[in-house]
């Protein structure tokens, strides 16, 4: 038998993986480190340990408002994208519309277009037609970029589903709504759930659309952080960022429990 | 109600949303890019393409995006390959290590690099202590900083698209190559790499598109002196404000990306029949 992998290459592999993991995680570790610092200045490794910057964040209206707006918009996007994208995926999957292939391309097209191009279009269109940007407009724009993910995850689940279940329900006398609600939708749930997580995460972290469509009262958390970084960051930015990282970790944990992370990653 | 009406009703909210909040805004932007005080004009494009300052920005964007894409592929392929070969627990951890940064806001990750790369930051300190660079060495506001930051931002995309293809490769192909006398590296080169090519190409296109159009990381790490196209667009929208010129730059960015994407879509389209 041949040796599976030469020894030196195996060692090189270990070193490579450790270094890559370090590069991938370095910025996150640094942010967490800075947030625990005692001093006024951003420094890593931190000088002394304290939670004072978290206190600062929790008593800062700017951060709390931004956080609240971000959560509201992300929830709105999750709901809209899951409903609209799920319904569209079901229609695309059935292939009964004369233009279903085109429809699939149309629904996935926001993936191809760089967000910055879309953001400009959105800013120019809405402010010239409807005036100042409202939270609803920002939520709609986030929904547009989250939609392809929901469509994709739901379609992937539907591809593996049994097409005869709906037929069976029909022969047994279920009407359209019953078939949809009791047969098709339950089969979509893993895809819808994965899509919903994507949608929440995309909206909550999104910075480009939020920057272009921001307003005096419409500042999301990433935009608030970006603004701080451009001017005078103090460790409170790191504390907010750490809270966002913590939220991501919770999200990943929930996804792993509910759907299995390895499967989610290949979606 | 028949089947067609039902399906149309299901797809309708999405069609309306995309029509009103996606295609119409983009059409509006295209119109704006050729609008002048007296009728349609290509003046905004001419202004961009005839000014060495903007051509320099365009060239920098292409150059850095290519470099970032190549580095991502060089790291992403071995990483994805190793992920398919390790046990389930190790693989789960590696997936977490790849996904956690991916799901963290770009703003947060860039902040981390700002701390690491700043003048008194860890990386320049280490390089100075090792005597590799002079006292006045700085990384922030350089192209190197943009590349480091962007590679970290985009590596997960590359790794996951290669991983998706690698997991579908029949493991017995590699075993067959080995029993027929290939060394490990020969197997990688003649069996795994060609089969993984669609994933590498797809990941590269994604990386190139995303890095050519990103501005948060380049703006924060490169500063105002080292501008990329997307940062210049953002400036034309907010600082100057010159919307038609911003729209023209966006169109140039989009056309550039299409020039890269279309051959690929054609290629893969014919391969699937």
Nearest to A210 by CA among A225, A195, A198, A196: A225
Q: What is the pLDDT of residues A190-226, one digit of tens each?
A: 899 999 999 999 999 999 999 999 888 889 999 999 9
Binary contact (A116, B214; C-beta < 8 A): yes
CB-nearest partner of B100 from A122, A123, A249: A249
Residues of A in contact with B32 (CB under 8 A): 124
Instruction: Give the helix ranges, DSSP H, for A133-184.
Output: 135-159, 164-171, 176-178
- B82/A13 Cβ within 8 A: yes
Top-confidence residue, A259 or B91: B91
Q: Residue-wise pLDDT tens for chain B (273 aa)?
A: 788 888 888 999 999 999 999 999 999 899 888 887 777 888 889 989 999 999 999 999 999 999 999 999 999 999 999 999 888 889 999 999 999 999 999 999 999 999 999 888 888 888 888 888 877 788 888 899 999 999 999 999 999 999 989 988 888 888 888 888 888 888 888 889 999 998 999 899 999 999 999 989 999 998 888 889 999 999 888 887 888 899 999 999 999 888 888 877 676 654 443
Q: Is B154 on the interface with A (CB under 8 A)?
A: no
Calculate mean pLDDT across residues A159-176. Answer: 86
Q: Does A116 touch chain B (CB under 8 A)?
A: yes
* Closest residue in chain B to residue A177, using alpha carbons only: B6
Which contiguous run of DSSP H or E holds residue B235?
helix B229-238
Residue A77 is predicted with a pLDDT of 97
Q: Do B254 and A117 touch (CB under 8 A)?
A: yes
Q: Which residues pair with B35 in a beta bridge?
A: B40
How many other C-beta atoms are found inside a 10 Å radius of the C-beta of residue B88? 8
Among candidate residues A190, A213, A177, the one with its CA nearest the CA of residue A82 = A190
Shortest distance, CA A116 to any CA of chain B (angstroms): 7
DSSP state of A218: B
| Residue given tokens 């669609």 in the structure block | B198
Element at B39 (helix H, strand E): strand B39-40
Residues A255 and A264 sit within 8 Å (Cβ to Cβ):
yes
Q: What CA–CA distance (Å, rounded) separates A253 from A263? A: 13
ipTM: 0.89
Domains of chain B: residue spans and CATH: 60-265 (1.10.3720.10)
Q: What is the pLDDT of residue A265?
A: 66
Q: How far is B152 from chain A (nearest CA, A)?
A: 6
d(CA B56, CA B29): 24
Cα-Cα end-to-end distance for chain A: 37
Please report, rounded to a whole number, the percentage of residues in chain A having pLDDT higher than 90: 46
CATH class (in words) of the domain with range A61-265: mainly alpha
Cβ neighbours of B99 in A, within 8 Å: 252, 261, 264-265
Q: What percent of chain A has pLDDT over 70?
A: 97
Task: Say whether B13 and A88 touch across the interface (CB within 8 A).
Answer: yes
Interface membership of A207 toward B (CB under 8 Å)? yes
DSSP state string for A91-145: HHHHT-STTHHHHHHHHHHHHHS-HHHHHHHHHHHHHHHT-S--HHHHHHHHHHH
Contact at 8 Å (CB) between A176 and A185? Answer: no
The closest CB to that of B14, out of A87, A96, A207, belongs to A87
Q: Which residues contact B42 (CB under 8 A, 6 or more apart)?
A: B34
Mean pLDDT of A57-83: 93
Q: Helices B122-129 and B106-117, interaxial angle, to 10°? A: 30
DSSP-derived 3-state class of residue A231: coil
Q: Domain residue spans in chain A?
A: 61-265
pLDDT at A9: 87
> Which residue of B97, B107, B236 is the best one to mutate when testing the A interface, meaning the one whose CB has the most A CBs within 10 A?
B107
CB B234 within 8 A of CB B125: no
B-interface mutation test, from A13, A27, A214, A247, most B Cβ less than 10 A away: A27
pLDDT at A264 over 70: no
Kindly report the number of other CB atoms within 10 A of residue A228's CB atom. Answer: 19
Residue B177 CB coordination number (10 Å) = 18
What pLDDT shows up at residue B118?
Answer: 87
Q: With the C-alpha atoms ordered A201, B265, B257, B35, is the resulting torsion angle positive or negative?
A: negative
A117 and B253 within 8 Å at the Cβ level: the answer is yes
Tokens, residue B198: 């669609």
How does DSSP assign B24-89, residue by residue? HHHHHHHHHHTEETTEE--HHHHHHHH-HHHHHHHHHHHHHHHHHHHHHHHHHHHHHHHHHHS-HH
Longest dimension (CA), chain A: 73
* Whether B174 contacts B193, CB under 8 Å: no
Q: What is the pLDDT at residue B121?
A: 83
B78 to A6: CB separation less than 8 angstroms, yes or no: no
- Residue B113 touches partner A, C-beta closer than 8 Å: yes
Best mutation target among B13, B71, B115, B206 (most A Cβ atoms within 10 Å) is B115
CB atoms within 10 A of CB B117: 22
Q: What is the mean pLDDT of residues A35-49?
A: 80
* Candidates A24, A195, A262, partner chain B, best to mutate (most B CBs within 10 A): A24
CB contact under 8 A, B243 and A124: yes
Q: Give contacts of A 37-96 with B, CB under 8 A.
A: 42-45, 80, 83-85, 87-88, 90-92, 94, 96
- The total of other beta-carbon atoms located within 10 Å of residue B204's CB is 22
Q: Is B234 on the interface with A (CB under 8 A)?
A: yes
| Secondary structure of B114-164 in HEC code, one letter for each residue | HHHHCCCCHHHHHHHHCCCCCCCCCCCCCHHHHHHHHHHHHHHHHHHHHHH
Residue A116 CB partners (closer than 8 Å, separation 6+) = A208, A212, B213, B214, B215, B230, B233, B234, B250, B253
The Cα B266–Cα A55 span in angstroms is 55
Taking the C-alpha atoms of residue B141 and residue B119, their distance in angstroms, rounded to an integer, is 10
The alpha carbon of residue B112 is apart from the nearest alpha carbon of chain A, in Å, by 4
For residue B271, the model assigns a pLDDT of 46
């Amino acid at each position: 038998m041949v040796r599976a992998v030469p020894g030196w290459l195996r060692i090189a592999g270990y070193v490579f993986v450790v270094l890559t993991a370090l590069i991938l995680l370095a910025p996150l570790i640094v942010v967490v480190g800075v947030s625990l610092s005692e001093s006024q200045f951003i420094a890593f490794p931190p000088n002394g340990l304290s939670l004072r910057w978290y206190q600062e964040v929790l008593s800062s209206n700017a951060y709390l408002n931004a956080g609240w707006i971000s959560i509201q918009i992300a929830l709105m996007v999750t709901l809209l994208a899951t409903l609209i994208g799920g319904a569209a995926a079901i229609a695309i999957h059935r292939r009964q519309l004369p233009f279903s292939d085109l429809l699939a391309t149309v629904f996935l097209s926001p993936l191809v277009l760089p967000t910055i191009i879309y953001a400009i279009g959105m800013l120019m269109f809405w402010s010239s037609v409807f005036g100042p940007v409202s939270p609803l407009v920002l939520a709609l724009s986030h929904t547009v970029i989250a939609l392809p993910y929901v469509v994709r995850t739901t379609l992937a689940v539907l591809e593996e589903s049994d097409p005869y279940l709906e037929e069976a329900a029909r022969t047994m006398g279920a009407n359209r709504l019953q078939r949809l609600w009791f047969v098709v939708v339950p089969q979509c749930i893993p895809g819808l759930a994965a899509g919903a997580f994507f949608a929440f995460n995309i909206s909550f972290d999104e910075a480009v659309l939020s920057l272009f469509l921001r307003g005096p009262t419409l500042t999301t958390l990433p935009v608030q952080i970006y603004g701080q970084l451009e001017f005078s960051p103090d460790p409170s930015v790191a504390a907010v960022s750490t809270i966002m990282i913590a939220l991501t970790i919770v999200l990943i944990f929930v996804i792993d429990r509910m759907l299995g992370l390895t499967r989610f990653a290949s979606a | 109600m028949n089947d067609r009406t039902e399906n149309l009703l299901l797809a309708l909210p999405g069609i309306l949303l995309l029509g009103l909040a996606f295609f119409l805004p983009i059409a509006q932007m295209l119109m704006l890019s050729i609008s002048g005080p007296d009728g349609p004009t290509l003046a905004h494009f001419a202004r961009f393409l005839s000014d060495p300052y903007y051509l320099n920005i365009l060239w920098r964007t292409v150059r850095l995006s290519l470099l970032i894409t190549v580095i991502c592929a060089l790291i992403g392929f071995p990483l994805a390959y190793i992920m398919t070969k390790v046990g389930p627990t190790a693989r789960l951890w590696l997936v977490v290590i790849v996904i956690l940064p991916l799901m963290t806001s770009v703003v947060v990750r860039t902040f981390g690099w700002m701390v690491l790369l700043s003048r008194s930051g860890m990386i320049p300190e280490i390089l100075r202590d090792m005597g590799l660079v002079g006292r006045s060495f700085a990384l922030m506001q350089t192209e190197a900083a943009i590349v480091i930051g962007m590679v970290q931002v985009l590596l997960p995309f590359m790794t996951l698209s290669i991983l998706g293809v690698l997991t579908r490769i029949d493991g017995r192909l590699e075993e067959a190559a080995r029993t027929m006398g290939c060394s490990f590296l020969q197997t990688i080169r003649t069996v795994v790499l060609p089969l993984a090519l669609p994933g590498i190409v797809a990941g590269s296109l994604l990386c190139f598109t995303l890095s050519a159009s990103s501005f948060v990381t380049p703006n924060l790490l490169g500063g105002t002196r080292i501008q990329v196209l997307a940062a210049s667009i953002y400036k034309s929208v907010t600082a100057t404000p010159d919307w038609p010129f911003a729209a023209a730059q966006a169109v140039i960015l989009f056309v550039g990306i299409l020039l890269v994407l279309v051959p690929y879509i054609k290629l893969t389209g014919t391969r699937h029949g």
